Structure 1
Amino acid sequence: MGARITRTFRNFNLENRAHREIGKAKPHAAPRYPSHKDTMEQAPTIKESIHKKDDPLLSLLKSVYVESKDPSSQVIEQSQAETEEEERRPLKFSLPGDPYGILDITDVPKGKLSIVEALKALNSHKQSPKTWTPEKIAQEYSLDLKDTKALVDFFAPFNVQIKPPKTEDPKQIKAT
């Protein structure tokens, strides 16, 4: 019954409202911008200049001569070997045993840390921040000072909290 009443109010004077909407002035469409086809029809000189051979530019292009030589492979290998030796440093700490294959790594690039070293550095900074400052950590592990400050500020080793057991015995259901 309620739907019938709302339908009558909704359809009341519907035809007059429709004629009123149809009779309103419509908004004008935005002007169309000239397309690519319109510009090609209007300017045939552009079409001709695209397909025309330009002799001054062609002569300048012919005057350009590029000569390239590949460096010998021995020089490349020596430079790579030198940079690898200079940029690597031996590990400071490693895990005992071989649980995750970390012992396979004997050195790391300068400016980087292994997981074990990062945890050791963060833990030592957490335990004594006055002695293990970001400057000392950066010097010890050959790191950038900005990266070390960010490491100390935004990363923290896990906080282990051991809660003591409750003193009173928990209530148990007795079997009868």
Structure 2
Amino acid sequence: MGSRFARMFRNFNLENRVIREISKEKPRAAPRHESVAPPSEVVDTVDTLNQKNDPLLSLLRSVYVESTDPAAEASKEVTEGKEGERRPLRFSLPGEAYGLVELTDVPRGKLTIAEALKALSSHQQHPQTWTLEKVAQEYSLDLKDTKALVEFFIPFQVKIIPPKSDDARQINAS
């Protein structure tokens, strides 16, 4: 009920107020600043900007900057040391997966998807036998990477939520 009264007061004499606002005189735009330089001086300035300045050019040629990133050098040393180290593949899916060429070996510290799934399922099914240390040793991983793998890499899980009512239709899995 209060909103009706508020709307009445808000819309009271709306047309007259709009017409009054529209008929007001519009503010004038500020005058433009007059240019001080005649057009001939502008052309001279452009010409001086486009000309070569020999003393500045010779100074520029004498400058030599060499920049190195210490982090890039450290990572290059680490990759050069591990580049030759490869380990044979522990587990692979049968057949050619998705038409890709089957791998025979992988770099140390890396896993294929099939190996990651096998390692995770082994650890989940038998955590006493397949401890993080054993998984790390078996697949030549760092312990830190193995902990991160178990914590963050979650394979697909299918969860079927039962319907709330008996009348709801359900998809058959077969």
TM-score by length of 2: 0.48
Larger Rg: 1
